[in-house]
A and B are shown apart, each in its own frame.
Chain A
């Protein structure tokens, strides 16, 4: 399974080398991984065979394509978050502007507006609209083949560009204190445990199944453990993701290939751990915690490394730790590790860990709403708050970010928004994202 990652990386490396040898040095070379999930959202299927970290050792930056409709907000959130937290330049190389003809049930400009805001919300800093001008086997671009414009789309894209250029969007940084890591080695196991290999379904082959591993196609053998790790890893990743989503504790996604020195930007790291775990990852977790970080792991403390040799790096910390509701808590250096063993206890343990680490909790008034806060490094008086209603029903949002709100302006619509100084209250129509630029007091 790791070979598949290397196969892609090596081929890109060779192509890049050829380009650089022929005079294309000094020009950023990037690659677009395809959109790997489709329906299903954050199911930790965005790692193998893709590897942003490793490919960015060869290319300048790497992103994922996005062609989702608004109903696939969870997918856009997953991809945007993963790219924003992992890539050195979070970029969407193919960002929906029309689609190919065999895309079933294509959306419209409303979908593209929603998805544009959703990607910016996650921290995407650049994108290439694919395609601005229509051609053979592409439809619904903002500019037709004969040069005529689709006015609504041109207006929307223009408004997005104007909003981005008007201020300091490129300087905004997402204020997410929690890092949820997909465990790459468990994802590789999942890929290896697929019962039937279906070919790529870009043209909807008769299988009707995705070529990416999923619950319908992954084997359920326990492989000698007390539970099948290739199944458990998805259950627990989803549990952690669900606990964080809508909790008010903003989190970003990456995977265990992310260099541990980049974990230090976050107050809390959450990662699924089972019977075995790479020894370097175990050491990195311990070092992160000793330096003051908070880790949430579970459902098991690994006692083996990736080669199934004894490895007690984490076990030495957790053995003898004080039991808590749903697991154990171990103090370690300046930080702490929460182990959660009970699936039902995940939300409580995650909240407890985030509170203990001093993670800001934003309030939205409804768990279905998604809220992300971006700040300007060096200017604590400005926050840009994205609020998403990714449902088919209107929702009344009551947004509080734990700071005094002196002035609020919705910068997509260009209108001032009333505030009582603590919250912003607005009715969000279905599939709506508001972008509030807030002047906050001390």
Chain B
């Protein structure tokens, strides 16, 4: 989905930071209980903040049962437990690095780094949740890559722009403005620029204003989705198959604005009175 030369320019740091906080979760920021073992002999048992933990062991027989037990015994102090076997981790990284191909889309490589964790079901174990959904930098959007690709194929017109935003207390709090080419690949990612477009207002008027601003720069906006902060979080937390229904509800209740050139009509709010 990523073009090889994605432009990431003219980004507003506040909009960007807020979007990160909404959409991403970093394992590095989590409180982790780390167990490293060498063929079953524990060589490291430590909390990331050096907090005392319960249930220290010297051997690992069943890494899944151990990870679960350690998490249950320490859940107030731990976000997740990771149990790693040394050779497995070395092999995993070697496999990932050996698989890199300069011609390949970056997101294909990155997805593979996470998917490859599944090939080490006993060597790299996390709890709660599987390693590929726990380690590293995770999206918190309630949808898989394939779900997103499907939505893009359904909704995003070729050579068009998607405008996403979150409104909080009458102001645009986070935004992403994403350009797509005719193959549905992302060619540009940026944010609204508060220095040239007024970011105050309710989500409906913000949707109008941002659309007009993007289109004034010669682009075609095929999807606009702006929501109030709570509504945005609810939407992101909802599984992909239920997002459409939730979005309809949010729009109907006045908590979000959604417009799509190619989507089925959805009741929407807009200060300009434009149909959804």
Minimum distance in angstroms from B226 CB to a CB of chain A: 22
- Is B99 positioned at the interface, with any CB of A under 8 Å from its CB? no
- Which chain B residue lies CB-closest to A221? B43
List, in ascending order, chain A residues with CB within 8 A of B13's CB. 98, 106, 108, 139-140
A98 to chain B, nearest CB (A): 8
Q: B137 an interface residue at 8 Å Cβ cutoff?
A: yes
User: Complex: how many Å from CA A87 to CA B84?
Assistant: 40
Q: Which residue of A lies closest to B24 (CB)?
A: A104
Q: Does B163 contact A (CB under 8 A)?
A: no
A196 touches B84 (CB 8 A): yes
Spot the interface stretch: B14-22, B56-64, B197-205, B254-262.
B14-22
Instruction: Across the interface, name the chain B residue whose C-beta is closest to A206.
Output: B136
Interface centre among B12, B27, B117, B132 (most CB of A within 10 A): B27
Name the one of B8, B29, B82, B93 contacting A136, with C-beta atoms under 8 angstroms.
Answer: B8
Q: How far is the CB of A135 from chain B (nearest CB, A)?
A: 7
Whether A208 pairs with B86 at a CB distance below 8 angstroms is: no
Residues in B neighbouring A324, C-beta threshold 8 A: none
Report the Cα distance A48→B131, complex, angstroms: 31
- Report B59 CB to chain A, min CB distance, Å: 15
Central interface residue in A98, A201, A206, by most chain B CB within 10 Å: A206
Sort chain A's interface into a size bin: 20 to 34
Smallest CB separation, B132 vs chain A (Å):
8
Q: Mark B29-65, 1 if CB is under 8 A from A, else 0.
A: 1101010101000011010101000000000000000
B82 CB to closest chain A CB, in angstroms? 8
Chain B: CB-nearest residue to A210: B28
At the interface, is chain A mostly helix, strand, loop or mixed?
A: loop
Assess the A197–B11 pair: CB atoms within 8 A.
no
Closest partner residue, chain A, to B80 (CB atom): A208
Is A198 an interface residue when CB atoms closer than 8 A count as contact?
A: yes
Complex: A145 Cα to B9 Cα, angstroms: 8
* Closest-CB distance, B246 to chain A (whole angstroms): 28
B135 at the A interface (CB under 8 A)? yes
Q: How far is the CA of A207 from the CA of B86 in the complex (A)?
A: 12
Binds B, one of A51-59, A211-219, A298-306, A362-370: A211-219
B48:A216 contact, CB within 8 angstroms: yes
Given A136-B8, A140-B12, 17 other A-B residues pairs in contact with their CB atoms under 8 A: A101-B8, A101-B16, A105-B17, A105-B20, A139-B12, A195-B43, A204-B26, A206-B114, A206-B131, A207-B89, A208-B26, A208-B28, A216-B44, A216-B46, A216-B48, A219-B43, A219-B44
Q: Could you give 6 example pairs across A and B, Cβ below 8 Å?
A: A139-B11, A208-B26, A208-B27, A208-B28, A208-B135, A216-B34
Point out residues on B near A: beta carbons under 8 Å.
7-14, 16-17, 20-21, 24, 26-30, 32, 34, 36, 38, 43-44, 46, 48, 50, 82, 84, 86, 89-90, 93, 97, 110, 113-114, 117, 131-132, 135-137, 189, 195
